[in-house]
Structure 1
Amino acid sequence: MRDRNPLPPRSARAKTPVHAHAGQGQLRIIGGQWRSRQFDFPMEHGLRPTPNRVRETLFNWLAPYIEGARVFDPFAGSGALYLEALSRGASMALALDLNARAIASLRQTLETLNCSNGQLLQTDALRHLENQPGTPFDLVFLDPPFSLNLLAPTCQLLEEKGWLAPGAWIYTESENRPSSLGLPDNWRLHREQKAGQVHYALWQRSA
């Protein structure tokens, strides 16, 4: 994920054809076994990677919980949070994105890293969340496109369909303050900060 200011929405649902942009961005993994490795990601319409400084803060918050965690990123975009979690010891991670080039790029990165515990699906996140997972997740990253009002329905489906383990951690990025998001009542706000115009927060679920 790259530094941004201002911060346009990140791609979860392709608003333009996947071949509309041919450029490449670059992300750097901050910590863990792949620390300092750099990888390309496609500069697709609306793809908004999380800045390095925000990632570093987030994974400092998550340091006691990331080892062995099952991780889910339904709006993966560049995959920086997803790759960072795998680098830092997540037992497995599933990433979704509707954009074919984003998923293809992530698949190539996993092959380069010889990573066998990362899973990828090119699919619509809300449609996929209508299903029930075989095993719930310990950590979820939620950074959907701001303009499509996807955060609240995504959180509702995570709760209703059993995607979250008891005590699961949920990370959110939003244009609005975390207290105004109307997220599930059993999610406790653990930490929050603001970078530019974006609020980012870590929540813990109680069963």
Structure 2
Amino acid sequence: MSRPTAQKTAQKTPAQARPHEVRIIGGQWKRTKLPVADKPGLRPTPDRVRETLFNWLGQDLTGWRCLDMFAGTGALGLEAASRGALEVYLFETDAALVAQLLQFRTRLGATALQIVRGDGVALAGRLAAGSIDLVLLDPPFDTTQYAAAVAAALRVLTPAGQLYLEAPEHWAAEKLAGLGLVERRHLKAGAVHAHLLGRA
């Protein structure tokens, strides 16, 4: 989930928890509801999109190493950890959201979560090349960091690693090919285009 921006509006589906809650969809913490900060523009990835993503990935992520580069509420990373991921890096710039993520880790006993405050793209540069099985990218839709974030993701992904990308538009095959990527799955939900990508 992305950090706040004024141009990102909240998405809500009938299955979504109250606007200031995140509900974990599956895994060991299934149905757990966590309060989230009331910040303008904070947009947790909707329940439907998260459910679909982890259906695509398979429900068991045991042993996976994951990176959520723009963690926000942590909804995506929490889903990965709930499904058995070995390590989940949550990078976030907002101090209040980082504090909230630390509270979630304590409440859930989520020892897999590695929570770091700072710029996600820069922090990703500190991770070993080829060390991450799944990168979760949900930056602010008005960001100029998409290209840098994708480049950082490709550096840290294992050869068979997967990249999840949320964006305000569907990324064309030609654009992806130019980055060395291919689309495996795509979903449009409201203003969100969700892509599951792999190396070409």
TM-score class, shorter-chain normalisation, is 0.7 to 0.9
Cα distance in structure 2, aligned partners of 1:58 and 1:28: 15
Distance 1:104 1:67, change over 3 A: same
- TM superposition shift of 1:151: 1.5
- TM superposition shift of 1:188: 1.6
- TM superposition shift of 1:64: 6.2
Contact 2:5 2:40 in 1 (8 A): no
2:136 is paired with a residue of what secondary structure? Answer: strand
- Specify the code of the residue in structure 2 equivalent to 1:168: G
- TM superposition shift of 1:126: 2.4
- Specify the code of the residue in structure 1 equivalent to 2:70: F
2:118 corresponds to: 123
Contact 2:61 2:84 in 1 (8 A): yes
- TM superposition shift of 1:205: 2.3
Distance 1:166 1:14, change over 3 A: farther
Cα distance in structure 2, aligned partners of 1:34 and 1:106: 15
2:193 corresponds to: 199
Distance 1:181 1:127, change over 3 A: farther
Cα distance in structure 2, aligned partners of 1:32 and 1:65: 8
Quick check: 1:97 aligned with 2:97? no
Cα distance in structure 1, aligned partners of 2:162 and 2:99: 28
Give 5+ residue unaligned stretches, structure 2. Answer: 8-18
The TM-score, its normalising length taken from structure 2, stands at 0.85
Contact 1:12 1:76 in 2 (8 A): no
The TM-score, its normalising length taken from structure 1, stands at 0.82
Contact 1:193 1:201 in 2 (8 A): yes
Cα distance in structure 1, aligned partners of 2:167 and 2:30: 27
Contact 1:49 1:80 in 2 (8 A): yes
Equivalent of residue 168 in structure 2, options 169, 175, 179: 175
Cα distance in structure 1, aligned partners of 2:6 and 2:156: 24
Q: Superposition pairs for residues 45-64 of structure 1, below 5 Å?
A: 45-63=40-58
2:104 is paired with a residue of what secondary structure? Answer: helix
Identity of aligned residues (%): 37
Contact 1:96 1:125 in 2 (8 A): yes
Contact 1:13 1:124 in 2 (8 A): no
1:156-188 CA distance string (max 9 Å, x none): 2233xx311111011001111121783453222
CA RMSD of aligned residues (A): 2.3
Quick check: 1:190 aligned with 2:193? no
Cα distance in structure 2, aligned partners of 1:12 and 1:133: 28
2:102 corresponds to: 107
1:21 corresponds to: none
2:11 corresponds to: none
Cα distance in structure 1, aligned partners of 2:172 and 2:66: 24
1:67-126 CA distance string (max 9 Å, x none): 221000010011011001000111110000000111111111110111211100010122
Equivalent of residue 152 in structure 2, options 128, 144, 157: 157
Contact 1:11 1:44 in 2 (8 A): no
- Specify the code of the residue in structure 2 equivalent to 1:146: F
Equivalent of residue 11 in structure 1, options 3, 26, 32: 3
2:142 is paired with a residue of what secondary structure? Answer: helix
Give 5+ residue unaligned stretches, structure 1. Answer: 2-9, 16-23
Cα distance in structure 2, aligned partners of 1:154 and 1:177: 17
